[in-house]
Amino acid sequence: MSRVRRKVAIGVTVAAMLAVSACSSSTSTSGSSASTGAAATKDVQVFTWWAAGGEKAGLDGLQTVFKKDCSQYNFVNAAVAGGGGDKAKTLLANNLKAGNAPSSFQAHAGGELSDYIANGQVEDITSEFKADGLDTAFPPELVKQITVGGKVYSVPANIHRANMVWVNPVVLKKANLDPAKAPATVKDWIADLAKLKAAGVTTPLVLSKGFAEEMLLESTLLGDLGVQKFNGLYDGTTKWDGADVTAALNDFKTLESYSNTDRDTMDWDAAMSKYLLPTNPASATGGYQLMGDWVPAQILSLNMPTSAYKYWPAPGTNGVYQWLSDSFTLPKGGTNPEGAKCWLKVVGSAEGQKAFNTVKGSIPARSDATPAGYPAYQQWAMAQWKASKLAPSLAHGSAGPGAWNNDVQTAMSAFSANPDVATLQKSLVAAANKYSNWRSTLG
Ligand code: GAL
C-alpha cells in the first residue's frame, strides 16, 4: 500500500463519524439499523451519495429489482447527500477505518476504486463476476478499470459523461444565440458568454462548488488541449507546467468570471434550480451550466419538459466522451456479504441496469443494452459512446486516486476565492507530481 493511500484513510474526526451514523439512519428506508437484532442478517446496507432527485430515482430503480430478485433480504438505503460524494467519501473512509463497513458501497471505476483496493478494503469478487457472465458483458476497457493483478473488485452500474453543457434556450434568445448550436471552441464560448452579459443576463455561466469547478477546469483543458494531450496529463506524457496548460487556465479564469459569485455556497442541483431551470421558467437568469449527464435525470425528476433545455458536449470536446462509471463493491468485513452479493448481481444484470439508467441519465455499462425504452438523451448518449474517443475524469475518479482529486479540489476553492493562475498551476503541478504514478503502485 502506498503511503499516500494510507494517509487518505486516516484523519478520522469524531464529528464526522457521528455525522455518518446520523445521516445513515435518517435516510434508511427500512428504518432499522443494519447492525442490531435479528434484522441484521437480512439487511443489505447500500452506501451511496444518491439521496435526492434524479440520483435517488436511479437508486430506487435498482431497489425495485432488488426487492424482487433478493426478496429474502431488506434493502437499507444508507445514502449520504452531497454531489459527487463530497461528504459521503470522507465519511465512508472514516467508517471503513473504524471497521464499520456497509454491505456495499459506491466507488468510481479507475483511480478511485484503486484506493480501496490498495487499502485492502474491498473483496476480490472475480468468481462471482465470472459466474454471472460479467467478464464478457462489459467493454474490456471498463473491466480493466475494475481489475488489479487479474482480480476484479467491483460491478459497474453505468457510464456517465462529464463534458456536457446544459442550456436554457429562453435565456440564450436574449442575446440572439442559437441554443442548439454549440460554440466550436472555448474561445467561441467565451465570446457568447460576453454577448449574454452584454444583453443583461446576470448569470451567463451557472457554477457550483467543489467538483463542479473542477469539472469546468477539466473540460476547459480537454477543449483547449485536445483529447490526446489531455489524457497525457493523467498518464504523465503531458506536462502540467506547460504554456498550453497556462493558456487553458487563463481561459478557465475567464469562464469563471462569467459565473454566479455564490458558486461556493451551493451544490450543482441547487444552482441548476436557482439559475438555469427554476420552477418558474420566466425567472431564469442562467444561460449555461457545465455538468455531468445526471442533469437530464434531475430535470425528469422535477417533471420539467425536455423542451425546457438543450445540451451539447463542452466547446472543443465534440467527439470525446469524458467518461466515469459508478460501480459497487463488496467491502471487507461488511455486513451481510451474501445479501451484498445478491445486490451486486442486480447491479450487473440487464434488468437492473435498465431500471437504474433509464432514470439516472447515464447509459448502461453492459454492451448488450439497446436504446429501446430509454429517454431521448440516453439514446443519443449511447450512439455517442460508440463513436467517441475516451477521456477520463479526475473529479469523478476515473483518472486518478481520491487523494489527487482532493488536492485539486482544494486548489480549486483557493482559486475561486483568489483567481491567480500561477498559483493554481503550481498547485496542479504539485498534485500531479505526488500522484501521477498511481497505476504503478498497484500490484
Ligand atoms: C458522480 C456520480 C454520479 C452523480 C454525480 C453527482 O460522482 O458518479 O452518479 O451522482 O456524482 O452527484
Q: Per-residue pLDDT tens for 51-88?
A: 999 999 999 999 999 999 999 999 999 999 999 999 99
| pLDDT the model gives residue 368 | 96
Is 310 a pocket residue for ligand 1 (Cβ < 6 Å)? no
- Residue 397 CA: which ligand 1 atom is closest? 7
What is the rounded average pLDDT for all residues in the chain?
Answer: 91
Is 210 a pocket residue for ligand 1 (Cβ < 6 Å)? no
| pLDDT the model gives residue 438 | 84
Q: What is the mean pLDDT of residues 236-256?
A: 98
> What percentage of the chain has pLDDT greater than the value 70?
90
Is 85 a pocket residue for ligand 1 (Cβ < 6 Å)? yes
- Residue 292 CA: which ligand 1 atom is closest? 5
In the chain, count H helices and then E strands: 20, 14
- Residue 396 CA: which ligand 1 atom is closest? 7
Is 209 a pocket residue for ligand 1 (Cβ < 6 Å)? no
- Whole-number Å distance between alpha carbons of 397 and 218: 13
Closest C-alpha residue for ligand 1 atom 7: 84
- Residue 360 CA: which ligand 1 atom is closest? 9
Q: Residue type at 296?
A: P
pLDDT band at residue 439 using 50, 70 and 90 as cut-offs: confident
- Whole-number Å distance between alpha carbons of 117 and 148: 8
CA angle 137, 381, 168 (to 5 degrees): 150
Is 269 a pocket residue for ligand 1 (Cβ < 6 Å)? no
pLDDT band at residue 108 using 50, 70 and 90 as cut-offs: very high
Is 324 a pocket residue for ligand 1 (Cβ < 6 Å)? yes
Alpha-carbon distances, residue 174 vs 165, 177, 194, 204, 258 (angstroms): 18, 8, 12, 11, 16
3-state SS assignment for residue 249: helix
| pLDDT the model gives residue 440 | 74
| pLDDT the model gives residue 442 | 57
pLDDT at 284 over 90: yes
pTM check: above 0.75: yes
pLDDT at 26 over 50: no
pLDDT band at residue 37 using 50, 70 and 90 as cut-offs: very low
Is 326 a pocket residue for ligand 1 (Cβ < 6 Å)? yes
- Whole-number Å distance between alpha carbons of 255 and 262: 15
- 74-77 and 310-313 beta bridge pairing: unpaired
- Residue 48 CA: which ligand 1 atom is closest? 10
Is 348 a pocket residue for ligand 1 (Cβ < 6 Å)? no
| pLDDT the model gives residue 298 | 98
